[in-house]
Amino acid sequence: MIRAVALALIDSVRPMDLVARIGGEEFAIILPNCGSAFGQTVAERVRRRIESTPVQVSPMLQIPVTASVGGAFAPQWVRCTPGLWLERADQQLYRAKAQGRNLVQLEPAAISVVSNEEKRLLFDTFPMTDHE
């Protein structure tokens, strides 16, 4: 099942995009240089591709597969950690599952609110190293 979903994900994105299994049955897709206006289109394409790929367990048994998708945007001007992006995407994933599963939920737009951790990444000064 995991392999079938992974192949469906890879077939749904551009060669420059990154598909990664982040644990269990959860995957992440990073879409560099993909404007927020296209996020919904890509996410729906991924969801439909997975839904249209039942897994053949035996000659007589196919298991249907669906996916709930949550997404977060990474504005270029905000320095953010992967952990924060995953946290924001997870919030949207939980919304998709709560609304009935096999749905896409993305942040309404690129987040313009900067969290305390992001502010720290932006404004804290870091000690200079010998090679700087």
Per DSSP, the residues of 36-64 read HHHHHHHHHHHHHHHHT--EEEETTEEE-
Q: Do the domain assignments include residue 63?
A: yes
CATH code of the domain in which 83 resides: 3.30.70.270
What integer pLDDT is reported at residue 102 of this predicted model?
94
Q: Do the domain assignments include residue 87?
A: yes
What integer pLDDT is reported at residue 9 of this predicted model?
92
Q: Do the domain assignments include residue 31?
A: yes
**What is the mean pLDDT for each group of 10 consecutive residues in the chain (132 residues)?**
91 91 89 83 93 91 93 76 86 93 84 65 56 47
Q: Do the domain assignments include residue 66?
A: yes
Instruction: Name residue 20's beta-bridge partners.
Output: 28
Q: Do the domain assignments include residue 130?
A: no
Q: Do the domain assignments include residue 113?
A: yes
Q: Can you give the residue range of the structural domain that contains 35?
A: 2-123
Tokens 């690129």 belong to which residue?
110
Domain count, the chain: 1
Q: Do the domain assignments include residue 111?
A: yes
Annotated catalytic residue 25: yes
The pTM (predicted TM-score) of the whole model is: 0.75
Q: Do the domain assignments include residue 131?
A: no
Q: Residues 25, 26, 87, 117: which is the catalytic one?
A: 25
